[in-house]
Structure 1
Amino acid sequence: MKKKILLLFALAMSIASAYGQEQNVTGTVTDAGAPLPGVTVIVKGTTQGTITDLDGNYSLSTSSDAVLQFSFIGYSAQEIAVGNQSTINVSMEQDAEQLEEVTVMGYTKQDQSSNVTSVEKVTDIVTPNVANSLQGKAAGVSMTAPSGQPGAKPTIRIRGVGSISSSQEPLYVIDGMIIDNTDIIGANQQSERDPMSLLNPEDIEDVKILTDAAATALYGARASNGVIVVTTKSGAEGKTQFSLNISGGEAVLYQGNYEPMRAKDFIEFQKYGDVDINGDAFTTDTDWINEAFRKGTVQNYQLTASGGNEKTKHYVSLGYYNQDGILKGSDFERYSARVNMDNKVNDRLSYSIKTDISYITQNDASDGALFSSPLMTTYMYPAIISPYAKSGDLKRSVDGNTYLNPFLTADESGYDNYYYSIGANFLSDINYNYRRTKSFNAGLQGNVKYEIGKGFAIKSNNSVRIQNTRYDNYTAPISYDGFNGPDAANGSVSNTSAFSSLITSTNLLTYSNSFGDHTVDAIGGVELQKYDASNQYGYGAGVPLTVDNLGSASSGFSNDGYQTQYRFFSFLSQVQYNYLGKYYVSGSYRRDGSSRFGKENQYGNFWSAGGSWIMSNEDFLSTSDLITNAKIRGSIGTTGNAGIGNYAAMGLYGYTFYNTSSAAVIEQVENPDLTWEQKLKANIGFDITFIDKVSLSVDFYNEQTSDLLMQVPTAGMTGFANVYQNVGEMRNRGVEFTINSTNIDKNGFLWTTNLNMSFNQNEVTKLYNGQRIEYSRQVIEEGKPLNAFFLQEWAGANPENGKPSWYLNREPTQDELDKNQVFKQHDGRYATSYYSKAEKVDVGDPYPDFSGGFTNNLSYKGFDFSFMFTFSVGNDIFNSGRRYMDQDQSAINGGNYYSQMKIAKDDRWTKKGDIASRPLIDQAGDDGWGNVNSSRYMEDGSYLQLRNVTLGYTLPKDVIGNIGLSNLRVYTSLQNLFTVSNYSGYSPTTIDNTGVAFFDYPDGQTYTFGVNCSF
């Protein structure tokens, strides 16, 4: 595959060197005779183009058979064939509909008062999930991939974390229809399933992100966390055009700052402990990173056909995507197909039909909690042991009913008293064990529009989506986890099958009309959503080797399953008005009902109001050469959140076994008052463009979430500890900046830049009775960010004796002073080697002070080049894996605890008086070891990453026309080239928004070559 692409690339370059002379086309673009600056002029089917200057002039080098596309917001687009013309003057005509309402957003079009961000180049990142392409491309949008597993679900947050216990996910809308992103399998998996991975990114025409009240309130019910609107491609009028896109490449591990101990480091480390070791006995130096990771591959093929006539247009696509993950045992494969058709029956009636299907197979690498996991092994195993026998064969984890010591034998060990008993050789186990998901997904959508007359129209949009998924988990009896892992089952197999359907119907009455200088648009309608899902689970143990089905199990049988459903019923309305194309106001109201809430409060009311003033259309700015566009906008409104369990408000019974019979027991108490979580959004912003070269958008926002859906303590007489209630409040407020600039546009050379940056502050402002919720290493408390880290503060080694210590963070008692249980650390603060005596304090939070992206696009005579940086500053990470890799114990019986990270020698206490962060090896504190939860393992998660670099070349049409092609572009793309960070792990970019890292599947560096051609 790679060789073929390289040959195509070389062939294209050789053809390019021989192409003929291109002709230069110049002209002026006007509006009613007046020059029109800022008009985009593009050679159709390419990225080659320019924009008109202040006098409406343009100049472009192209071929005689090219077609020029002229476009500008508020004007009807035009296409003109070049032919033998050297001068092409164009008079643009205003499009009243575009002037009034710019962006199509599912139900209707959003007016000038909305904050809507368009995301470009959604296919530049090599990923099966388009959501991964959003990182760094829109202000206020945070995207992290918590796992490098192909097909894993990314974590997306828009303007911060908006809820505590309810959903924090944005709402996804595809072709105007709300989709459900529930993981219907729900198995113990490395990566949560994501319906967005079912969508072929190559089929996407447009992605828009809705943030403020004016843009999101019409989706009221579930738009609390923002909305991501995806529009798929449609056909265009003209003869059928075929396009073939082929790309392929490789991915390798990006190791970052992580450096494990090699054999000599490990032996040296043990000498500081109490282990008697003969270093000369070891000849093994295993590179466990090299054993666990591999060179991944990626292939992508896409064939499309698009065309039509005045009445009927079509778009058809077939796609295949295959990715082998960089971690052994992980991969993702997808087959996809789509047919979109639009038909205009007559001047009043039109309809469209959209269908898509996909079939996915995904294998997950075992996660970090399993002993046969390549991840856990990479972090935990020392280099002095080998997975191979002297014969070169892999050592098995288990042989029959006997543990093997797969790494060391008595002759190989350099220790006097040492044995290693974990016994998991993942290189052997992954040949038998698997965690596999297969999923079939289909969608059918039909839209009908009928123009009644006098500005009125009826729209009906209806869809059904189904998902049929099976998850299989097999552990062989000769694998560690199959013999003595979590199930101790002598081999086990489990099968989970699930099916879901989502039916949506949206029916609207719309009105649009102009009265002189006044324009009014309005909609009203109803929407129904019906979701049903079922799941069946079976488990059996005592499964023979390679006989991986439940029928072969001999013991441990268990089964489970569920059926679940929800319903939404909504009334929605919106009115938009503008005067003279200068003053815009809008208002919306939506009433949503959900089956998830109590029978007394199933309905919630959501509204918005917005307005904008386009100052650049006023007389005092209309002739300005400096400020060519200026707009002030603002909005306020409410949205809702229903992201809880389908039956959270109900009193529930569950069935169990009692004396071989089924018995019903109460599982949940009823709360008929449970209702919507609500968010009040306020936004004010401005957009300004200078000399048609530099545009600046700034938004200030405040979002207050109230009636938080949380479980709170309940009366003991109920027999239950907690019940869902509407309690608590939380706030996000911040500033967003976006700068777009045209740096150079001269003689066919175009260079543009985008910089976006967002600052967000999160604060929990109210909790039930003001009670603090403390769990593990984090806390939810009034006045603090959600999930703030709350830990004992690490004080390093006691300079006197090398014991681990923690700051007291309070005044010592006289008894503690008398018993020498506290001491003054080198900085004068009281510390103690009794972990239990140290007070917890705030040591950080997982959210950045600011984050964003920086993108540059350059083009010249068919060549295009782009690069993008993403960055995050101020977020903290608790690196939980370091509790095992970076601690103070040398190898002990059992082999579970010992340092594996290479540590600088001068950071370890060795003699009295040393000021060191790490204690003496094998030196415990007075009530435990130093690897407990504390700020010792807190790290700065700030980073700057070169996310993507792409270089491409589009061959001239007079060259490729001889071989029957209308477009041919070749390109190479490099992804995740480097990351600048102080994080000690592989990469801080794969840590989710909780800020806790534990043996994470890292991301890889991907190198891709591709060819796009049309004919």
Structure 2
Amino acid sequence: MIGLSLASASPGIALPLAGRAPSGIFQADRTVTGSVKDEKGEPLVGVTVTVKNNNAIGATTDLNGEFSLTIPQNLLDNATLVFSFVGYAPMETELGSQTRLDIAMNSSISQLDQVVIVGYSAKKVKFLSSSVSTINNEKLRDVTSNELPNLLQGKAPGVVVSSSSGDPTSAGRILIRGAGTISAGTSPLVVVDGNIGGSYNPVDVESISVLKDVAATGLYGSRAANGVIIVNTKMGKAGKTQISFNNTLGFAQATTGKFRLMDSQELFDFQSTFYPRDPSVLRTNTNWWDEAFRTGFVNNHNISASGGSEKTTYYVSANYYKEQGTQVENDKTGYNFRANLQTQLTKKLAAKVLFNGVFNKDNYANSNTLYDAYNNLPFDPAYDEAGAPIDARSYPGWLGRDRENFLHSIQYNYSKAQSLNVSTDVNLDYELTDKITLSSYNRINFLNGQSASYNDKRTKQGGANSGELYNGTTYSNRLLTSNRIRYSEDFGRHGVTLLGVAEAETTYSSSSSAAGKGLPPGRDVMSVATDVLTNPTGFNEQVAFRKFLGQLDYNYDNKYFLVGSFVNEFSSLFGKNNSTANFYQLGASWILSNEEFLKNNKTITFAKLRASNGTVGNADGISNFASLGLYTISTDASYSGLPGAAPSQKGNPDLTWEKIKSSNIGFDLSFFNRIDLVVDAYVKEASELLYRKPLAATTGYSYVWVNAGSIRNKGIEFSLTSTNVKGKDFNWETNLNMAFNRNKVLELSDGATVFNSGARQPIAVGHNMDEYNLPIWAGVNPENGDPQWERIVKDANGNVTKELTSTYSQAQTADSRQFSGKTAAPKFTGGISNTLTYKNFTLSAFFNFVYGNWVYNESRVYFDNDGLYESYNQMVLAEGWSRWEKPGDNATHPKPIVGGNKDSNQSSSRYLEDGSYIRLRNVRLGYSLPDNLLGRSGFSKVSVFVSGDNLWTGTRFSGTDPEVSLSQVDLSSGLSSLRYPISKKYLFGINFSF
């Protein structure tokens, strides 16, 4: 109705709500004009403006948010204007002598009334029967990054984001409610604008919904085991075209925490206790860390336009992002273009056309640079007398073990890649009747990438092969169609929605690579290679998924809710005997606050109980031909001088999905309409785990993919949001979320008690998947300074005792290696934020924290090794650490000896460190110019801000950064090795709209 009124109205003309007053009443009247905007400064269209206690005088705002009405003289005394609009708190303003009013209205929609996307439908938060966390754009964009995982860190309970590198080309990894697999993937499924997969840029994201329990994730069937992240991009709104420019500029510096390497004097003093050094080495004091790291610059610029009519709206955006890594010769550049168009083609047919294109250019960090930054000796010079980087191979008197100066190599060598990712959606919704809707959602996605790695013959890396070049290309084309029918009807107090979906997806992919050697200096193209370094490789693959699902959603009187669904899915990934699988989901909720005993309760303003149970699957992370028998063609299997084929992978026609059965119970409470508490408890048990099982060489195969064993995750998570102060000029909001998760291996196949025996983190029945199993460090022998470990001894009667030994080989036997009780999995994670607003100022601070995890600091093998590598630099001992010097010393570090002290730096619990930390992830101060300052500038909004990321970290970890990968079941879980540290960022931004 509002839209129809606007269509027939001219801007600036008053629209009486109940007819005009009789003539003669407007004899000495006053014309009042003004504008109405929302909290973000955007015009509100269709706001009703009336004179209090006289609805006969009124108007509505036009497409620009402007209004004009004429008030008769006899109503001017003590006149008050009332502004009202659906979804916004009504406002009253005394007119006085004013002739123009510029009003900002605040949304009255509570968090519970927000609509979120769940599965294939949208629901208000208060009507959900599932565990869902929603993060809006404003909460998402406080931290500066071009990768969504980094923006999600600490924002939602049960969502753990971790990164093992500060490299801007490396995104963080996401783990939802713990890992429950051995060899398959742990990454959540990403759904963009209603379709599985897709590309997007964080600047275009309107909101993120994280689906965690099966009532929400189950509709995605075989790929929902690790949770689902639904990305909703911005859409246009009817009204005047809004053009916005958002600009961020800043710089970044590598963090080092409490970690510091020795300078020349410190290293000379230390090594003089066990290794004679000529004092002449003190003439040089090179800080290799400072040579390897720099101040990096960050640029993020976005322009967007949105608007449209009642029938057609649009949102168009272009983004440029450039971040220099703090390590030299490392950066990421991204270009993104998005166009979202939605239109009502006919009365019954609506369409959306969504386009997104991403072009990325990555210059990867050189691993030699990082290695040398930690290990090169300060005694060796970086530059010659002319200021040119020294080639350490030919420099007389170079003392470092590896004779490598990365500053010389990076002049010529590089590793880089570029990719183009284009995604186009065509989504149609047709109202067959007022109760039945037919929908067809379709996407085509193209990804094309190129990579190149070049080592010039003038460098150490390229010298052996007289220059070498590696080229690679990848291509994929993904087609998806999802066709849906929805029936929805209310029968008195009963409401029923039926959903049916048929979905098909096919991905075609190909890859090729070539490597050549014998390239002239500076000629980094394959055409000048004089020989083949390795044989060319390549593949062409096709993978298909097909899914049918049905769902029944029922509610009674908006009090009692039931939802049930069934999914049947096929995938070409699995064996011919088990290529399909069935999954089910059940959910229920009860809104207690709609019952008579809680209605109008002033303390408990909302209360709901939720429960869900069901199954999902995991098909992520395995090879596309995991179920098939494969052969490798090579000269190693030659016959009569011709290449031959040899078995490599044994086939398994019974291979099928991992099955995850999950139960969740939770409640939502609101107190005084100011405090919101959400609590969930869950149990998630994975069975038929996908496992790449090694085979003995006598079988003729290297491995076979099988379904093996079961793992259980259980935990509790909560989110607490509190509006501490809400006043006319000052507001203060706090949000705290925490999650506790425990993991346990329940069973392994064939009666096995352990997989990957001998690994630092084997998979063992009765233990956490990430628990460390290794020789147990017993400290330093105070009498002689030797290292000590625990040794397990069994006597003839089978009695077990522990002894101390200084012989490492006795401590690392299968009998002596022990489960340490320490795991890489944290006991709890979370985040806390505070947002304060005063008039036009906004101040926010956000902390994230991880507690109870242990990090294996493998880096110390190199620079904390008790004399083993006298040709490497050493770390300055952390506070509280000490080295043995004389009998009776109770030291943390053994006596240093040339060549090392009895394998003291070998793998053991010595290098396990507490990885707990709390980090000031972001602080941001913003200011928006008031309307009276904007005047007639043409701008509808201008705001500026200053911001800082990763400004402080509290931890006991001795390395540069305690944050490590926590989300992958692999050898890097909980591992810190020559870490590329994250960076502190200091940023300034200016945003304006008109």
Measured against the shorter chain, the TM-score band is: 0.7 to 0.9
Alignment of 1:776-815 (within 5 A): 776-810=759-793
1:534 aligns with 2:529: no
User: Per the alignment, do residues 689 and 833 of structure 1 end up closer, same or farther by CA in structure 2, a change over 3 Å counting?
Assistant: same
Structure 2 equivalent of residue 868 of structure 1: 846
Q: 2:575 aligns with which of 585, 593, 598?
A: 598
Q: 2:678 aligns with which of 673, 678, 697?
A: 697
- Checking the alignment, whether the CA contact within 8 Å between 1:778 and 1:788 is kept in structure 2 is yes
Structure 2 equivalent of residue 726 of structure 1: 707
CA separation in 1, counterparts of 2:724 and 2:434? 47
Structure 2 equivalent of residue 392 of structure 1: 387
CA separation in 1, counterparts of 2:406 and 2:775? 36
Question: Which 5+ residue runs of structure 1 have no aligned equivalent?
Answer: 1-40, 50-63, 181-197, 368-372, 398-402, 414-418, 823-828
Q: 1:617 aligns with which of 589, 594, 597?
A: 594
Once the two structures are superposed, residues 758-781 of structure 1 have per-residue CA deviations (whole angstroms, 9 ceiling, x without a partner) of 000011111122231224322110
The aligned amino acid for 1:555 is D
CA separation in 2, counterparts of 1:526 and 1:688? 37
Q: 1:105 aligns with which of 113, 118, 125?
A: 118
RMSD: 3.0
CA separation in 1, counterparts of 2:101 and 2:662? 53
Q: How big is the shift at 1:458?
A: 0.3
1:404 aligns with 2:394: yes
Once the two structures are superposed, residues 65-114 of structure 1 have per-residue CA deviations (whole angstroms, 9 ceiling, x without a partner) of 78999999xx856999989798999999999xx99994223522355201
SS at 1:907's partner residue?
coil
1:958 aligns with 2:932: yes
SS at 1:808's partner residue?
strand
The aligned amino acid for 2:288 is W
Structure 1 equivalent of residue 948 of structure 2: 974
User: Per the alignment, do residues 162 and 632 of structure 1 end up closer, same or farther by CA in structure 2, a change over 3 Å counting?
Assistant: same
Q: 2:377 aligns with which of 369, 376, 382?
A: 382
The aligned amino acid for 1:241 is Q
SS at 2:778's partner residue?
strand
The aligned amino acid for 2:771 is A
CA separation in 2, counterparts of 1:102 and 1:706? 34
Structure 2 equivalent of residue 195 of structure 1: none
1:918 aligns with 2:893: yes
The aligned amino acid for 1:297 is F
Structure 2 equivalent of residue 323 of structure 1: 323
CA separation in 2, counterparts of 1:949 and 1:69? 38
CA separation in 1, counterparts of 2:917 and 2:168? 23
Structure 2 equivalent of residue 608 of structure 1: 585
Q: How big is the shift at 1:715?
A: 7.8
TM-score (norm: length of structure 2): 0.86
TM-score (norm: length of structure 1): 0.84
Alignment of 1:403-482 (within 5 A): 403-405=393-395, 409-410=396-397, 419-482=399-462
The aligned amino acid for 1:140 is G
Alignment of 1:189-268 (within 5 A): 199-268=200-269
Q: How big is the shift at 1:997?
A: 1.0
CA separation in 1, counterparts of 2:881 and 2:175? 41
SS at 1:963's partner residue?
coil
User: Per the alignment, do residues 840 and 392 of structure 1 end up closer, same or farther by CA in structure 2, a change over 3 Å counting?
Assistant: same
CA separation in 1, counterparts of 2:727 and 2:141? 28
- Checking the alignment, whether the CA contact within 8 Å between 2:961 and 2:979 is kept in structure 1 is no
Structure 2 equivalent of residue 36 of structure 1: none
Q: How big is the shift at 1:660?
A: 5.6
CA separation in 2, counterparts of 1:453 and 1:760? 47
Structure 2 equivalent of residue 141 of structure 1: 159
The aligned amino acid for 2:284 is T
Alignment of 1:681-830 (within 5 A): 681-712=662-693, 718-768=699-749, 769-773=751-755, 774-810=757-793, 830=803
Alignment of 1:115-194 (within 5 A): 115-120=131-136, 121-179=139-197
Once the two structures are superposed, residues 925-974 of structure 1 have per-residue CA deviations (whole angstroms, 9 ceiling, x without a partner) of 89x42110001110000001000011101111232142100111111110
Q: How big is the shift at 1:545?
A: 1.5
Structure 1 equivalent of residue 647 of structure 2: 666
The aligned amino acid for 2:267 is F
Structure 2 equivalent of residue 518 of structure 1: 494
CA separation in 2, counterparts of 1:215 and 1:983? 38
CA separation in 1, counterparts of 2:449 and 2:342? 31
- Checking the alignment, whether the CA contact within 8 Å between 1:611 and 1:634 is kept in structure 2 is yes
- Checking the alignment, whether the CA contact within 8 Å between 1:99 and 1:581 is kept in structure 2 is no
CA separation in 2, counterparts of 1:718 and 1:921? 48
Structure 2 equivalent of residue 1003 of structure 1: 982
- Checking the alignment, whether the CA contact within 8 Å between 1:464 and 1:504 is kept in structure 2 is yes
Identify the range of structure 1 (784-793 vs 550-559) with the bigger mean alpha-carbon deviation. Answer: 550-559
CA separation in 2, counterparts of 1:785 and 1:360? 39
Once the two structures are superposed, residues 14-56 of structure 1 have per-residue CA deviations (whole angstroms, 9 ceiling, x without a partner) of xxxxxxxxxxxxxxxxxxxxxxxxxxx983424999xxxxxxx
CA separation in 1, counterparts of 2:82 and 2:718? 30
CA separation in 2, counterparts of 1:230 and 1:92? 23
Structure 2 equivalent of residue 835 of structure 1: 808
Structure 2 equivalent of residue 988 of structure 1: 962
Q: How big is the shift at 1:255?
A: 1.0
User: Per the alignment, do residues 70 and 986 of structure 1 end up closer, same or farther by CA in structure 2, a change over 3 Å counting?
Assistant: farther
CA separation in 2, counterparts of 1:91 and 1:293? 47
Question: Which 5+ residue runs of structure 2 have no aligned equivalent?
Answer: 1-35, 45-63, 68-80, 968-972
- Checking the alignment, whether the CA contact within 8 Å between 1:572 and 1:590 is kept in structure 2 is yes
Identify the range of structure 1 (682-691 vs 375-384) with the bigger mean alpha-carbon deviation. Answer: 375-384
CA separation in 2, counterparts of 1:721 and 1:496? 26
CA separation in 1, counterparts of 2:441 and 2:543? 20
- Checking the alignment, whether the CA contact within 8 Å between 1:234 and 1:340 is kept in structure 2 is yes
Once the two structures are superposed, residues 646-670 of structure 1 have per-residue CA deviations (whole angstroms, 9 ceiling, x without a partner) of 1100112332233563433322222
SS at 1:989's partner residue?
coil
The aligned amino acid for 1:625 is K
The aligned amino acid for 1:264 is Q
SS at 1:269's partner residue?
helix
The aligned amino acid for 1:127 is S
The aligned amino acid for 1:646 is N
User: Per the alignment, do residues 268 and 616 of structure 1 end up closer, same or farther by CA in structure 2, a change over 3 Å counting?
Assistant: same
Q: How big is the shift at 1:390?
A: 3.1
CA separation in 1, counterparts of 2:363 and 2:336? 18
Structure 2 equivalent of residue 363 of structure 1: 363
Structure 1 equivalent of residue 26 of structure 2: none
Q: How big is the shift at 1:310?
A: 0.7
CA separation in 2, counterparts of 1:304 and 1:100? 28
CA separation in 1, counterparts of 2:703 and 2:742? 30
- Checking the alignment, whether the CA contact within 8 Å between 1:101 and 1:109 is kept in structure 2 is no
CA separation in 2, counterparts of 1:789 and 1:660? 48
Once the two structures are superposed, residues 524-564 of structure 1 have per-residue CA deviations (whole angstroms, 9 ceiling, x without a partner) of 02001111111110101122221001111122343111112
The aligned amino acid for 2:330 is S
SS at 1:568's partner residue?
strand
- Checking the alignment, whether the CA contact within 8 Å between 1:804 and 1:925 is kept in structure 2 is no
CA separation in 1, counterparts of 2:91 and 2:448? 48
Alignment of 1:840-859 (within 5 A): 840-843=817-820, 844-859=822-837
CA separation in 2, counterparts of 1:906 and 1:446? 63
Percent identity (aligned):
36
